[in-house]
Structure 1
Amino acid sequence: MTYPDISGSAYSSLQTVFDAQLNSRARRFLRSAKADSTLNAYQADTRIFVFWCQLHGVEPLQASHHHIMNFLADQADGVLADWVWLDKAEGKGELRHGEPRKPATLVRRLAGIRYAFKQKGIHPMPTEHPDIKEMMRGIVRLGDNHKRKTGALTLEPLAKVLDGIDTHDLAGLRDHTLLLLMFSGALRRSEAARIEVSDLDFVGQGIRLRLKPSKHQLHETEIALIPGKHYCPVLALNNWLKKSRINSGPLFRRMNRWGQITPDPLGPQGINLMIKRRTGHSIDYLYVSGHSLRRGFITSAVTAGKPMNKIIEVTRHKDMRTLQEYFDDAHKFADHALDGLL
């Protein structure tokens, strides 16, 4: 079932959420209020809603709460829940039936639609109708709320992935270096995507890596990267800079179809897809996502008995309870209360 291209009026009317009267500086500051990953998710959710509306002959900006309820119900059952690009460059895609969406996904779908309505100044917003909240309670009760836990790319599976990458070509060298850096620095994919050459400070003991503010860290932070025995992030970064000839700007960049480096940074979604692609070639027993390397570092450090304060120097956790979960999980079977009772 194919839909009009994304330049269509119905899509633009809702998807272009920032008012035309705002100048570029105002839009930049408004956009920076939310993380790029959040806005990208909202954009994807709104795209699905817009084309669902087109299919049902509904003008997106005039959608009632009944339309939104029907949309969410379809998503909960997997009806027209998958967006598939047919030609992304031309803005052509289609909606397909798929797996039922989990309640958490529907909450975000609703948040994306709400955000678009808010930016368009629609009042009252149909997303706030009490019937929608009541129906969401029903979806939560009947839906699958089991959260699939991201697998930790600890050293053993990570080594298998790294060893399987051909670093003789630039794409392989980039991915090898990026995976190793994300593990060594416990980096989120959004943080890795924003690193520039100027953020690296090579010193005698290793590298001082500056991380820009984000929704997780309101202020600039700095972590230390030290040489490794078997896999060395310092050597890998030196090699990447030398071979790629990148002297300034984004550290990790997109490649064109001919394997040439472009000026554009490799974004968070691109990093996520790269991680899944590279790990899929080597391991098939882990559910891997962009968070797997950060989780892998923490799990490895906790298992190795590293002090919590030294782990936090790298991970930059503010809430100790989040990190405590890793310590609890690592020692779940130690000194068990059942030991010796049976």
Structure 2
Amino acid sequence: MTHQSFHDAGRVMSRVEHYLLQARRENTERSVAAAVRHYELEWRGLLPATPQSIAAYLAHYASTQSISTLRVRLAALGRWHREQGFADPTKSDLVRRVLKGIRSEHNTPQKQARPMAFDELARVEQWLLSQVRVEPPATSEAAAARLRAARDRSMLLLGFWRGFRADELTSLRFEHVRIEPDGSMQCFLAASKTDTSASGRSFRCPSLPRHCPVAAFRDWQTLSGLQSGPVYRQINRWGVISERGMRATSVIPWLRRLLTKAGADMPDQYSSHSLRRGFANWARTSGWDLKELMDYVGWKDVHAAMRYLEVDAARSDQLFAQSLGTAPDPADAAVVPQAAPPERSPPKRSNVVPLRPRKTSP
């Protein structure tokens, strides 16, 4: 093989490695690294692990870690073993049975993020809009606050009306957003959590008469002057916009800080899923059927969709009242127990022998 052939082969291999790295999502990389760090440093386990050591690891943290946390770490450790060429100990029958026992004994209701109610969304958006319209800013800090309000308003409305997750919001790029002639907006996501084939998907965002995500996006792009790269980025106190996009893990603290500043109640109960859950509940109460909602958001599994929907207690009570009425049924009235008759003493035995008829001769 000539020197040029070696050089070409090296270039091909470097491109192969590049595309292999692109196939691994940043969030997955962090998850695997965190699980390995916890297993090796916190628990002082050895890798590669055996099924027995993985089972002991699970048992050690069974009472202090949630089932969902243990599952995430288990999946990450399994991925590490497969990628390093080792047998996956997390798939063993021993580990499966230990995890089932932990779930039986320590299972608790899964905590769900508080959905963003439409009224709350409108109030926070109005507060942000009042800051965006302040001009001209007198100081660099005021200019930075105005920029931040424009970014936050766009991020909040797009996250709600499209039901985007944190990774979808933070991976959006300007060159993948297109404003259509009818005023709507097309957002192309090259990859997302559920897009395992990395084929990408386009999402249409409508232009709305109120609380419009398209108008908010236009305001943010105009004020920022950005035309390419990540749409949502960090902004420092002097109004300098970072070249790098926000991380998905920063969405929860971002939303809670925003709600705290806007005076929302219990901001710590919100998470990055609050926007998605809020839209799902708004759509359901607005008359969308489940198929329409799944198609719009991008859910392929009905069980995944149902986890985002809350039971409307008032609606349930209304349906019961329509079917059964509101007046109590007389048959359901409490039955007053009848008083037991007084006990009587048993009758005294008689000493009289009863007479029997005599037998007569035929």
Q: Which category of TM-score, normalised to the shorter sequence, fits these structures?
A: 0.7 to 0.9
Answering whether residue 39 of structure 2 is matched by residue 61 of structure 1, we say no
Residue-pair matches, total: 294
1:180-195 aligned within 5 A: 180-195=157-172
1:16-31 aligned within 5 A: 25-31=15-21
- The aligned counterpart of 1:239 is 219
RMSD: 3.1
- The aligned counterpart of 2:272 is 290
Contact 1:161-1:283 at 8 Å conserved across structures = no
For 1:326 and 1:110, locate their aligned partners in 2 and report how far apart those are by CA, in whole Å.
25
- The aligned counterpart of 1:146 is 109
In structure 2, what residue type is equivalent to 1:335? L
For 1:319 and 1:174, locate their aligned partners in 2 and report how far apart those are by CA, in whole Å.
32
Among 66, 71, 75, the alignment partner of 1:107 is 71
Change in Cα spacing, 1:338 to 1:143, as seen in structure 2 (3 Å) is: farther
Change in Cα spacing, 1:101 to 1:227, as seen in structure 2 (3 Å) is: same
Note the C-alpha offset of 1:254: 2.6
Answering whether residue 35 of structure 2 is matched by residue 45 of structure 1, we say yes
Note the C-alpha offset of 1:338: 5.1
In structure 1, what residue type is equivalent to 2:125? L
In terms of mean alpha carbon deviation, does 22-31 or 189-198 score higher?
22-31
For 2:291 and 2:104, locate their aligned partners in 1 and report how far apart those are by CA, in whole Å.
40
Note the C-alpha offset of 1:109: 0.9
Answering whether residue 62 of structure 2 is matched by residue 76 of structure 1, we say yes
Structure with the greater alpha carbon radius of gyration: 2
Residues 170-220 of structure 1 show CA distances to partners (whole Å, capped at 9, x for unaligned) of 223212210111112221222212211122222343233233243424544
Change in Cα spacing, 1:231 to 1:128, as seen in structure 2 (3 Å) is: closer
Among 288, 294, 297, the alignment partner of 1:315 is 297
Note the C-alpha offset of 1:39: 3.6
Which is richer in strand? 1
Change in Cα spacing, 1:38 to 1:276, as seen in structure 2 (3 Å) is: farther
Note the C-alpha offset of 1:293: 0.9
Note the C-alpha offset of 1:164: 4.4
For 1:327 and 1:126, locate their aligned partners in 2 and report how far apart those are by CA, in whole Å.
36
Contact 1:227-1:234 at 8 Å conserved across structures = yes
Q: In percent, how many aligned pairs have the same letter? A: 23
For 1:339 and 1:40, locate their aligned partners in 2 and report how far apart those are by CA, in whole Å.
56
For 1:120 and 1:262, locate their aligned partners in 2 and report how far apart those are by CA, in whole Å.
35
Among 117, 133, 143, the alignment partner of 2:81 is 117
Note the C-alpha offset of 1:246: 0.7
Note the C-alpha offset of 1:51: 1.3
In structure 2, what residue type is equivalent to 1:295? R
TM-score, with length taken from structure 2: 0.70
For 1:37 and 1:158, locate their aligned partners in 2 and report how far apart those are by CA, in whole Å.
28
TM-score, with length taken from structure 1: 0.73
Note the C-alpha offset of 1:27: 4.2
Change in Cα spacing, 1:328 to 1:120, as seen in structure 2 (3 Å) is: closer
Which is richer in helix? 2
Note the C-alpha offset of 1:140: 0.8
Note the C-alpha offset of 1:239: 1.0
Gaps in structure 1 of 5+ consecutive residues: 1-21, 78-99
Residues 107-126 of structure 1 show CA distances to partners (whole Å, capped at 9, x for unaligned) of 21111111112222224x44
Answering whether residue 175 of structure 2 is matched by residue 198 of structure 1, we say yes
Residues 222-280 of structure 1 show CA distances to partners (whole Å, capped at 9, x for unaligned) of 33333333322122111111111111111112334654211111121122331233234
